[in-house]
Amino acid sequence: MKEAYLYEKLEEQKVRCGLCSHNCLIKPGAKGICRVRENRDGTLVSLVYDKIIARHLDPIEKKPLFHFLPGSTSYSIATPGCNLKCRFCQNADISQMPADAGQIVGEARTPAELVREALAQQAASISYTYTEPTIYFELAHDTSRLAATKGLKNVFVSNGFMTRACLEMIHPDLHAANVDLKSFSERFYKETCGARLAPVLETLQTMKKLGIWLEVTTLLIPGLNDSPEELRDLARFLAALDKGIPWHISRFHPMYRLQDIAATAPDGIHRARDIGLEQGLQFVYSGNLPGDKGENTFCPACKTLLIERYGFLVRRNKIKDGHCFQCGVAIPGVWE
Ligand code: SF4
């Protein structure tokens, strides 16, 4: 049990959580929308500070981060819970465990133990992933602080629905993030995820301002978020923010409560990728399509192949000190 960060005590022992954009008003004895933060007699506590449900050593490419220490490994952890309710969630067994099964289970691990495990496995970073790091922010924050003092980088894989205060509190120790931009439609966010688009767009802007290395992922779901107009608007937004933001367009497979939609056809991924490039984005990647040409990094200036990948494997990396080995143009990213 750990007292929550970033909440406000109100009259009659109510509290308001400030971690994510739901800003839940929670009465004594009740929990927030994420079901992992509870008001105990006017004090908000995290129920997952010591509940690690997953921990694996992953290639950083699996996050996916393609321009952040390529070829390195990231010690990847999660607790149960999420603040969104995406009908297509790929990790619903753990993200929706508190909501669907009424359970919160996991192993006790202190931040010091997690950092020790990451170092013992020679990871370059710790990733807070699989579920939503915002809802286990206290653990992510304390672990990140300690990890940074030991030379490890910290990575969030997030839905981006956190508040600016949350990002400002962790940002000196948060080095990179992959944020899901699930759609460019408020309606999609409301009906399919139980959230809102606008706060996610603000998070992307804030992350750029704070200097956190940012990559973005969109899971392309046939008929729901794949119209050319919507993809054009989304890509235009990203390009206006920074043309060098890598955009990962990932293939959907039927999951959780979206079992009645077929997997995305490879052609759909290719069309979306073309739209991203047409809108000026320099790095647009195919996801969940191992062996696809769109997994590789090309120089935006001379088009030379710079990083060749197969799935999460880096086969060849020809970036030299952050520059194209051929024409010398700088390639945005964190390379060492
Ligand atoms: S983190 Fe949980 S309790 Fe806090 S505002 Fe978000 S959903 Fe509500």
**Closest atom of ligand 1 to CA, residue 26:** 3
Instruction: State the distance from the centre of ligand 1 to the C-alpha of 83, rounded, in angstroms.
Output: 6
pLDDT band at 31; cut points 50, 70, 90: very high
CB 200 within 8 A of CB 181: yes
Identify each DSSP E strand in the chain by its residue range.
Answer: 2-3, 7-9, 15-17, 25-26, 37-40, 43-46, 54-59, 73-78, 125-128, 153-158, 176-180, 213-220, 247-251, 284-287, 297-298, 305-310, 313-317, 319-320, 323-324
Most informative mutation of 20, 46, 128 for ligand 1 (most atoms within 8 A of CB): 20
Q: Mean pLDDT, to the nearest integer, of 250-257? A: 96
Which ligand 1 atom is nearest residue 4's CA?
A: 4
Instruction: Indicate if the pLDDT at residue 244 is higher than 90.
Output: yes
Q: Is the pLDDT of residue 332 over 90?
A: yes
Share of the chain above pLDDT 90, in %: 99
Exposure b/e, 50-82, CB count within 10 A at least 16 = b? ebbbbbeebbbbbbbbbbbbbebbbbbbbbbbb
Mean pLDDT value of segment 253-267: 96
Q: pLDDT band for position 299 (50/70/90)?
A: very high
> What atom in ligand 1 is closest to the CA of residue 33?
7
Distance 318 CA to ligand 1 centre (A): 43
Per-residue model confidence as pLDDT tens digits over 118-153: 999 999 999 999 999 999 999 999 999 999 999 999
- Residue 133 Cα to ligand 1 middle (Å): 12
Name which residue sits closest to atom 4 of ligand 1, judged by CA.
17
Q: Which residue is closest in CA terms to ligand 1's atom 3?
A: 32
For residues 56-83, give the mean pLDDT.
98
Q: Kindly give the distance from the C-alpha atom of residue 20 to the centroid of ligand 1, in angstroms, as a whole number.
A: 5
**Ligand 1 midpoint to CA 171 (Å):** 19
Q: What is the mean pLDDT of residues 236-246?
A: 98
Q: What is the pLDDT of residue 210?
A: 98
Ligand 1 pocket: which of 22, 25, 104 to mutate (most atoms within 8 A of CB): 22
Q: For residue range 173-226, what is the model confidence (pLDDT) as tens digits?
A: 999 999 999 999 999 999 999 999 999 999 999 999 999 999 999 999 999 999
Ligand 1 site-directed mutation target among 25, 33, 138, most atoms within 8 Å of CB: 33
Distance 17 CA to ligand 1 centre (A): 6
Q: How far is the CA of 227 from the centre of ligand 1 (A)?
A: 31
Alpha helical stretches, state H, 50-185: 92-95, 111-120, 137-149, 164-170
Q: Tell me which residues have their CB closer than 6 angstroms to ligand 1.
A: 17, 19-20, 22-24, 32-34, 37, 83, 134-135
Average confidence (pLDDT) over 103-109: 96
Name the band, by pLDDT with cuts 50, 70 and 90, for residue 1.
Answer: confident
What's the Rg (C-alpha) of the chain?
Answer: 20
- Residue 135 Cα to ligand 1 middle (Å): 7
Contact 131, 82 (CB under 8 A): yes
Residue nearest to atom 5 of ligand 1 (CA): 23
Q: How many Å lie between the centroid of ligand 1 and the Cα of residue 221?
A: 27
Instruction: Please state the atom number of ligand 1 nearest to the C-alpha of residue 161.
Output: 6
Round the average pLDDT of the chain to a whole number and report it.
Answer: 97
Q: What's the gap in Å between 155 CA and the centre of ligand 1? A: 21
At 195 the pLDDT is: 98
Question: What pLDDT was estimated at residue 170?
Answer: 97
CA distance 180 to 217: 5
Atom of ligand 1 nearest to the CA of 18: 5
Condensed to tens digits (0 to 9), the pLDDT of residues 159-186 reads: 999 999 999 999 999 999 999 999 999 9
Residues in the chain: 336
Reply yes or no on whether the pLDDT at 257 is more than 90.
yes
Average pLDDT over residues 318-331: 97
